[in-house]
Amino acid sequence: MTAVSEASAAVLSDLRPQYGHFIDGDFESSTTTHFPAVNPATGEHLSDLARGGAADIDRAVQAAKAAFVNWRRTLPEERAAMLLRLADAIEADIERLAYLDALDIGRRVTETEIDHRIALGEFRFFAGAALNRTGFNRPIENGIAIARREPLGVIGAIIPWNVPAIMVAHKLAPALAAGNTVVLKPDEHASLSTLALCEHLAQIFPAGVVNVVTGLGEEAGAALTAHVDVRKLAFTGSSEVGRLVAIAAAERLAPVSLELGGKSPNIVFPDIDDIDGVVDNAAFAATYCNGQSCLAGTRLFVHEDVYDDVVGRLVAGVEKIALGSPIDPATGLSCLVSERQGKRVLDYVDIGRKEGAKLLTGGERSVVEGNEYGYFVQPTIFEATNEMRIAQEEIFGPVLSVIRWSNYETMIAQANGVRYGLAAGLYTTNIARALETADRLEVGSVWINKYFNLVDGSPIGGFKDSGYGSENSAETIDLYTHLKSVTLIGQPQAPFYLPR
């Protein structure tokens, strides 16, 4: 047995054959119905997960509501210490957690380990934010005016399947740092590493502070968004479902933060020095996470002066990417999360062909020995125009549309000419032009000369159909608190001059 196989077997042996919901500090011995967690590469049955509904969500919300009474009074220093302990626990357990995600969602294990390192960095960042984003004060005549940030209460969080470790950190870290309690609904295709994290949460946080209910979006997710005791909703996923979450929140005037889809432009200027570096960045931007990322740079705008060189090297480079098992560290690209997602991506390849886009490479499903069940889609590059559907719609797979440009104003209009506005990349040696372009792009994040340049404390959020509210930054605390004003003076006064 290889070292990779041994590591995988060890992780599988640690899995419980059946998981109940994690409510009030422990896993329930659930008698409800279950659904299977299946390895998308091999079809192997991994575990059975509780299929939650309205009653399960209500138990979790009531546990979180009861825990909030004391948790909100916990000193920021204590909350920070627990977040740091959680980060340390993730770091010590990172190999197991990374393998769990690789087995559960089909992404290569070298990427899922990076996910967990990003997550533990975010928990550590918000440990610090818990201490320094508490409000402000100023003197007034004979007294003081105080504005203090207070937690909202029970947070309902719903996350997708593509990067579960990062998504859990995006929701839990700021919510807990601010003094809220949480009910989290992970995606049905990516629950195992979150449930494994619950083992650490149970050892660190008071019972009921974090609760996890597994299940389907239309059942557990819908019940969570509709629950009257949930004071705020935090959702990451598609723009279509995000609208439904926003409507549910509006029914009871609950605040909501949404991190939704993207169709990010990645712009190559003609003055670039290192073409190989740009090509590597462009390939990474389009294929990281097997292309299943809302941040992916899926529209590559290349200036005509360097177009042939850049595109030629890009095609040659991606054709060398090795498709392989998610648990093999040598793998360059692994499988999509499900048959449904695989067919969706291949349908978009057919749409591109029918629209007249020129297929430069890829576009087919490959078979990987020992993983015949999985949908391994070759990295795919189309020569396209910006109005084509493959350049307008989020595909969520390793499919890149390359667009030639020559006129700066036209390129900017096209870069902004989609319904999304989440992220963008650009490559140039001209700093003035880089900053001007960053200013004009209608997106939440602009990465200059290095795509996916995610830094702890750097906001992640979007414009237009990419949602609203920034995660991953100190300002995120504001989304999980309300601002209370208190004014205090030394002695009562008589401002109305009542007759005496």
Q: How many CB atoms lie within 10 A of CB 156?
A: 31
Instruction: Round to whole Å and give the CA distance between 350 and 16.
Output: 41
Residues 6+ apart with CB under 8 A from 439: none
Q: How many CB atoms lie within 10 A of CB 449?
A: 16
Phi and psi at 462, nearest 5°, equal: -135, 180
Instruction: Round to whole Å and give the CA distance between 424 and 267.
Output: 8
Token look-up 């292309």 returns 291
**SS3 letters across 256-290:** EEEECCCCCEEEECCCCCCHHHHHHHHHHHHHHHH
Q: Reduce the DSSP state of residue 137 to 3 states and report it.
A: strand
Instruction: Round to whole Å and give the CA distance between 411 and 408.
Output: 5
Residue 18: closest CA among 45, 42, 41, 43:
45
Residue 466: closest CA among 416, 414, 413, 412:
416
> Hey, what are 8's tokens?
């995988």
Token look-up 């700066």 returns 408
Q: Report DSSP state, residue 217.
A: I
Q: Which one is catalytic: 113, 188, 289, 294?
A: 294
Phi and psi at 301, nearest 5°, equal: -90, 115
Residue 383 annotated in active site:
no
- For residue 424, CA distances in Å to 99, 110, 295 come to 30, 24, 8
Residue 294 annotated in active site:
yes
Q: Which one is catalytic: 259, 383, 394, 442?
A: 259
Instruction: Round to whole Å and give the CA distance between 40 and 103.
Output: 8
- Angle between helix axes 109-132 and 76-92 (nearest 10 degrees) is 170
CA dihedral for 450, 129, 116, 346, sign (positive or negative): negative
Return the amino acid letter for 144.
I
Q: In angstroms, what is the C-alpha Rg of the chain?
A: 24
Query: How far is C-alpha 7 from the geometric centre of its chain's CA atoms?
Result: 26
Q: Please, where are the H alpha helices in 15-75?
A: 54-71
* Residues tagged active-site: 259, 294
